[in-house]
Each structure stands twice: as structure tokens, then as C-alpha cells.
């Protein structure tokens, strides 16, 4: 045993497992395990990236003013209330670090994103898992689980890996019912996939205890570059900025994100294509006897008879070069999470599931 011990909570952390990207012995694979954009990112972002290598000896600016101004313009938000981070994961980390510590409780839900308990432990706080109802976040159960130690409630809306949503009235009821000193975090990683959805920004504006996080990793197709942002009341933003490293985003990240957010036509096209192929895929799987909840995101949660069938189908799909995500770790052992690909990707999934259901091994 080492005499050098980490802080309380650190050894409770179970390492995050990312989606697989290769299958041994199969060369033509389609990766549908990490909710990445099948169309990549906008051409404008690629061009900006190409040019961004010219001044690598220069430090980036520290306040992200240009990017925050553009985000503010696109989403009709006050740029002063925006903070940018290394993926939205970094914003979530700032929130946990600033608002929870030893003795405090951090609520997440039964099938909630696995980063939430990790971040709670990293802050030395106690993660508290609350049951969902049929794979939907249950506001009453969360309110019932709150104590005077509850500091943060993390909810992804739409949720990952279920793809379901909490309505804005329900979210408002939750925010209003939280104990004094507890903040509600609306993780909007998939918000852009919902036509007309503000990610919960209006609720941030209406209250003093609500934060929204967003990312360039999903609809913008920039998961590899690591850019996200948060929107919150001014006093919360001022708190989060205290723990943010001044140069947390590189000049390359800033330049590419600025180009990407200017290209809303790309975002609109991705949203439409995703909705179209998501419906097609859900329908095709249903015809093969594999149901799913109506998804609001860029993946569907396919439900099988039991864990054995889900794993057998996953194995078969892998043998065919189709990589999806097992979600037993999210309390969904009989399900597989399948990212909505492009047309060819979706057709490959449907074909493989059909073959599997017809007895292929
Ligand atoms: C993908 C995802 C994120 C985004 O992570 P980044 O750090 O922005 O890449 C956040 N929350 C959920 C629920 C996600 O699925």
C-alpha cells in the first residue's frame, strides 16, 4: 500500500469507458457507438482548422469573447453569462468542483450519463442515484430524494442513453421545488437535435438556480476538438470562471468553434437528416421485433428480450462491422444504444439486426 493517498472519493471513481471504434479482423466498420455526427463537421470548420496552425506560438485569448459573442448571437443569450470549456464535460466538472464537496449529495438518475457520478466523486461528494419511470426522468422521485445536503441535480435533456426528454413544465417544477442552495444542471448535449428547443435557456433566465451546458461534440461533429459551453446566472458564471484555467481553450479550438457556429445551415441539415433516418431506423428495427422509445437525440435505444439477446445481437453486428454501444453499465442490460448514422449506416444496422433475428450467428 502506498503511503501517498488520494483525496476522499477519488478511488470510488469507475473509469469512463468510451465507445469502441474497431473490430478485430473486420476492415469495413461503421462506428455507431459514440453519438458522433456521421457527416463529420461543417466545411467552414475544416477550412478554419486548416488555417488555424499559422500562429501556434501565440497564446490564445483568455476570455473567449469572440466565441461567446457568436454563441450569444445564435442563441439569443447574453455573452457575459456564457463560459466556454474543454467539452461540456469541463463545464460539468467546474460545476461539481465549485458547488459540491465532502458531505454533500449530487443527484443523477437511474440511466443518467456516467460522467455525473464520476464528477461527484472527484469533488469528494456523494452521488445519489434516483429511479426513473420507464426510462424517463421522474421529477417527483428527484424531489423526494432531495435532502438539506443536496447541492446539484444533473439531468441530460434529451437524455443519454435513453433519448427521452423531460418537458419544460416538468423541468420548471423541478427547479422550483429544489432545496435552498441546490442547483439544477440541464445538460443539453443533444438539444440541437430537437427542432425549436432552447435547451432550457428560458428556465435559466427565469431563475437563479439553473445552469445549461451545451457542446460542439454532437451536432457540430467536433468531438475530437473538445469544445463546450455553459449558460447560467451571472453570479454562477463568475464562480465557475474562478476555477477555469485562463488558457483552457486553445487558439485552434476557438477558431474552429467560431467558424462552426456561424454555419447554422449545416446544423439545420444535420438536424433534419438525423430526424429522418432516426425515424426510419426505429421503424425498421420495430419491424424486426426490436422496439425503442421515441428518441429526441441522435441515437436510439434498442430494446431486446433480455441481456442474452442484446449481447448476441451486439456480437453479430460486430462481426458484420457494425459497432454500437452496450449499456448494461447504465442499468439497461437488455438494450443497445445505436447512433443514427447516414443512410448507408442505418441500412447496415437494419440489415444486420434483420439477419440476426432471422437466425444468423
Ligand atoms: C456527449 C455528451 C456530453 C458532451 O461531452 P463533451 O465533453 O462536450 O464532448 C455531455 N453530456 C452527455 C449526456 C453526453 O452524451
For the chain, the average pLDDT equals 96
Question: Closest residue (by CA) to atom 11 of ligand 1?
Answer: 189
Residues 299 and 227 in one domain: no
Residue among 93, 161, 218 whose CB has most ligand 1 atoms within 8 A, to mutate: 218
Q: How far is the CA of 269 from the centre of ligand 1 (A)?
A: 21
Calpha distance 360→111 (Å, rounded):
31
Same domain, 152 and 223: yes
Sheet containing 82-85, strands listed edge to edge, beginning at the edge strand earlier in sequence: 82-85, 228-231, 210-215, 183-187, 150-156, 105-109, 126-130
Same domain? For 33 and 50 the reply is no
Spacing, Cα 356 to ligand 1 middle (Å): 31
C-beta contacts of 128-135 below 8 A and 24+ residues apart: 132/162, 135/111, 135/162, 135/164, 135/293, 135/301, 135/332
Report phi then psi at 43, rounded to 5: -60, -35
pLDDT attached to residue 235? 98
Kindly tell me if the per-residue pLDDT of 359 is higher than 80.
Answer: yes
- pLDDT grade for 3, boundaries at 50, 70 and 90: confident
Domain of 222, in residue numbers: 45-262
Tell me whether the omega of the peptide bond preceding residue 42 falls within 30 degrees of 0, making it cis: no
- Boundary-marking domain end, from 228, 247, 262: 262
d(CA 252, CA 255): 5
* Ligand 1 neighbours (beta carbon < 6 A): 35, 87-89, 113, 156, 160, 187, 189, 215, 217-218, 223, 228
Cα–ligand 1 centroid distance for 44 (angstroms): 23
pLDDT digits over 5-52, tens only? 999 899 999 888 887 888 888 889 999 999 999 999 999 999 999 999
List the residue whose alpha carbon is closest to atom 15 of ligand 1. Answer: 160
Confidence of residue 64 (pLDDT cuts 50, 70, 90): very high
Q: Are both 206 and 66 inside the same structural domain?
A: yes
pLDDT at 81 over 80: yes
Place of cell 485552434: 252
User: Are residues 249 and 275 part of one domain?
Assistant: no
The closest alpha carbon to 70, from 210, 263, 211, 225, belongs to 263
Whether 1 is covered by a domain: the verdict is no
- pLDDT tens for each residue of 186-239: 999 999 999 999 999 999 999 999 999 999 999 999 999 999 999 999 999 999
Does residue 2 form part of some domain?
no
Looking at the structure, do residues 221 and 315 belong to the same domain, yes or no?
no
Query: Which domain CATH number covers 257?
Result: 3.40.640.10
The verdict on 207 and 194 lying in the same domain is yes
Report d(CA 201, CA 210) in Å as an integer: 9
| Average pLDDT value for residue range 325-337 | 97
Give me the residue label for grid cell 474552429. Answer: 256
What's the pLDDT score for residue 95?
Answer: 98
Mutate to test the pocket of ligand 1, among 89, 157, 192 (most ligand atoms within 8 A of CB): 89
Q: Residue 16: its pLDDT value, please?
A: 84
**Are 303 and 199 in a shared domain?**
no
- Interatomic CA distance for residues 175 and 172, integer angstroms: 5
**102 shares its domain with 145:** yes
Between the alpha carbon of residue 17 and those of residues 13, 14, 138, 305, the distances in Å are 12, 9, 26, 25
Residues 105 and 209 in one domain: yes
Q: How high is the pLDDT of residue 343?
A: 98
Asked if pLDDT for residue 319 goes beyond 90, the answer is: yes
pLDDT at 17: 81
Asked if pLDDT for residue 333 goes beyond 80, the answer is yes
Please answer whether residues 42 and 221 qualify as being in contact, where contact means their C-beta atoms are separated by less than 8 angstroms. yes
Chosen domain end from 229, 262, 295? 262
The three three-digit cell numbers of residue 342, written as one number: 447516414
Neighbours of 271 (CB within 10 A): 16
Ligand 1 centre distance from Cα of residue 156 (Å): 9
Domain count, the chain: 2
- Tell whether 5 is covered by a domain: no
Strand pairing report for 299-303 and 335-339: antiparallel
Task: Evaluate the omega torsion of the peptide bond into residue 116 and state whether it is cis, within 30 degrees of 0.
Answer: no
Query: Residue 1: is its pLDDT beyond 80?
Result: no
Amino acid at each position: 500500500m502506498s503511503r501517498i493517498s488520494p483525496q476522499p472519493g477519488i478511488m470510488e471513481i469507475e473509469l469512463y469507458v468510451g465507445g469502441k471504434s474497431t473490430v478485430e479482423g473486420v476492415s469495413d466498420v461503421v462506428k455507431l457507438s459514440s453519438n458522433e455526427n456521421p457527416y463529420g463537421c461543417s466545411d467552414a470548420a475544416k477550412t478554419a482548422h486548416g488555417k488555424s496552425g499559422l500562429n501556434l506560438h501565440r497564446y490564445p485569448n483568455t476570455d473567449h469573447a469572440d466565441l461567446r459573442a457568436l454563441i450569444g448571437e445564435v442563441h439569443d443569450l447574453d455573452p457575459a453569462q456564457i463560459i466556454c470549456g474543454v467539452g461540456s464535460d469541463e463545464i460539468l466538472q467546474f460545476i461539481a468542483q465549485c458547488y459540491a464537496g465532502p458531505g454533500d449529495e449530487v443527484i443523477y438518475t437511474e440511466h443518467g450519463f456516467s460522467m455525473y457520478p464520476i464528477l461527484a466523486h472527484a469533488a469528494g461528494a456523494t452521488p445519489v442515484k434516483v429511479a426513473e419511470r420507464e426510462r424517463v426522468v421522474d421529477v417527483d422521485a428527484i424531489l423526494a430524494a432531495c435532502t438539506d445536503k443536496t447541492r446539484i441535480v444533473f439531468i441530460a435533456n434529451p437524455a443519454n442513453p435513453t433519448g427521452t426528454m423531460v418537458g419544460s413544465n416538468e423541468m420548471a417544477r423541478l427547479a422550483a421545488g429544489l432545496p435552498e442552495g441546490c442547483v439544477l444542471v440541464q445538460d443539453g448535449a443533444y438539444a440541437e437535435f430537437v427542432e425549436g428547443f432552447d435547451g432550457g435557456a428560458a428556465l435559466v433566465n427565469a431563475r437563479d438556480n439553473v445552469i445549461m451546458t451545451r457542446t460542439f461534440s454532437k451536432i457540430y461533429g467536433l468531438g475530437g476538438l473538445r469544445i463546450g459551453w455553459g449558460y447560467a446566472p451571472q453570479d454562477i458564471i463568475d464562480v465557475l470562471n474562478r476555477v477555469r484555467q485562463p488558457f483552457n481553450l486553445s487558439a485552434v479550438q476557438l477558431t474552429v468553434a467560431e467558424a462552426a457556429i456561424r454555419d447554422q445551415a449545416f446544423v439545420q441539415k444535420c438536424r433534419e437528416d438525423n430526424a429522418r433516418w432516426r425515424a426510419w431506423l426505429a421503424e425498421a428495427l420495430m419491424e424486426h421485433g426490436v422496439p425503442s422509445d421515441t428518441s429526441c437525440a441522435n441515437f436510439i435505444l434498442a430494446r431486446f428480450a433480455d441481456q442474452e439477446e442484446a449481447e448476441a445481437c451486439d456480437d453479430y453486428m460486430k462481426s458484420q462491422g457494425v459497432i454500437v454501444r452496450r449499456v448494461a453499465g447504465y442499468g439497461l442490460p437488455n438494450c443497445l444504444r445505436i447512433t443514427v448514422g447516414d443512410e448507408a449506416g442505418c441500412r447496415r444496422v437494419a440489415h444486420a439486426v434483420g439477419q440476426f433475428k432471422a437466425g444468423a450467428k
